[in-house]
């Protein structure tokens, strides 16, 4: 892949040493990635807007303390994911009565169909994505939608690579179930009935989330950027 005209880290330095256009160049270069990551994480255009603004404002505020210990894009992705977590948390906390009626369907995604048929496959992938626990959703979006390498995802999310692999696999299964794809063996049918390795779409991944959090650093801005 050819090098971009100026490295991100050089643009950061140039902005800090008085080149006003350098920050605009950084924003222009990355806004599409940041916005789309936020859109997939939150599922709503307005939240994606807010998360994008929050992420870039955080970057702006902390730019002077960015020392290049992590790649700029890694840091930017982490800040964006954190902005999405914050926004989703606030949205959960907002009293239901304050919400507009027209927003209710989006806030309460339809339950996953409990049967597999052709029509359930047409269910909006984005809606299904919103039913996957956030930590798993983030890893899947970064890897399967944005094509980032597992090593980079691990650095962004702040977990070991083994955790990325496991979140990826469990997240995909949760997504498939949310889309109504049931577990029919490709090679054989299990006469005893299939075990439920991932539990319900939100269940097992959500349960394992707290366990992972206990011994692995969660994604927090502070651990990458001072």
Partner 1 sequence: MSHPEDLLADYVGGTLDERERAAVDAHLPGCARCSAEVRQAEAARAALSELEDVPVPFGVTGPVLAEAGRRFERRRGVAWGRFQWAAGLAAAAAFVVVVAVNIGGEDSQNAAAPERTTAVAGGTGAAGAEAAAPGVIPFAGLERQTDVNYDEAGIRAVATEAAGAVVAAEEAPGTQAALASTVQDSKERTSLARECVDQSGVRGPNDVLIRLIEARFDGTPAFIGVYSEGPGAGQTPDHIVVFVIAKDDCRILSTASQRIPSG
CB of residue 158 vs partner 1: minimum separation in angstroms?
Answer: 18
CB of residue 184 vs partner 1: minimum separation in angstroms?
Answer: 6
CB of residue 225 vs partner 1: minimum separation in angstroms?
Answer: 15
Beta carbons within 10 angstroms of residue 86's beta carbon? 15
Helix (H) or strand (E) holding 8: helix 8-16
Angle at CA of residue 128, ends 126 and 134, nearest 5°: 90
Which residues contact partner 1 by CB under 8 A?
18, 20, 23-24, 27-28, 31-32, 35-36, 39-40, 45-47, 49-50, 52-54, 56-58, 60-61, 90, 93-94, 98-100, 102-103, 107, 125-126, 128-129, 140-141, 143-145, 162, 165-166, 168-169, 171-173, 175-177, 179, 181, 183-190, 194-195, 197-198
Beta carbons within 10 angstroms of residue 174's beta carbon? 29
Q: Smaller CB distance to partner 1: residue 56 or 66? A: 56
Q: Smaller CB distance to partner 1: residue 4 or 125? A: 125
- Burial, 194: exposed, middle or buried (Cβ in 10 Å; 0-12, 13-18, 19+)? exposed
Q: Smaller CB distance to partner 1: residue 93 or 115? A: 93
Beta strand residue intervals within 47-162, DSSP E? none
CB of residue 58 vs partner 1: minimum separation in angstroms?
Answer: 7
Cβ atoms of 87 and 78 closer than 8 Å? no
Task: Give the integer Cα–Cα distance in Å for 224 and 222.
Answer: 6
């Amino acid at each position: 892949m050819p090098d971009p005209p100026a490295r991100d880290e050089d643009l950061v330095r140039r902005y800090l040493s008085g080149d006003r256009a350098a920050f605009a160049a950084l924003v222009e270069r990355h806004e599409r990635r940041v916005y789309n990551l936020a859109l997939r994480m939150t599922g709503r255009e307005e939240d994606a807007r807010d998360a994008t603004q929050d992420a870039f404002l955080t970057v702006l505020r902390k730019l002077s303390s960015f020392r290049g210990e992590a790649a700029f894009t890694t840091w930017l992705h982490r800040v964006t994911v954190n902005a999405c977590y914050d926004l989703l948390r606030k949205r959960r906390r907002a009293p239901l009565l304050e919400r507009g009626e027209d927003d209710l369907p989006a806030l309460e995604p339809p339950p996953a169909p409990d049967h597999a048929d052709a029509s359930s496959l047409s269910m909006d992938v984005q809606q299904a994505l919103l039913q996957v626990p956030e930590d798993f959703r983030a890893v899947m979006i970064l890897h399967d939608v944005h094509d980032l390498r597992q090593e980079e995802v691990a650095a962004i999310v702040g977990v070991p690579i083994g955790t990325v692999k496991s979140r990826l696999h469990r997240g995909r299964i949760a997504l498939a179930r949310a889309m109504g794809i049931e577990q029919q063996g490709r090679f054989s049918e299990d006469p005893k009935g299939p075990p439920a390795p991932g539990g319900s779409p939100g269940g097992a991944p959500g349960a394992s989330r707290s366990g992972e959090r206990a011994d692995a650093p969660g994604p927090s801005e502070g651990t990458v950027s001072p």
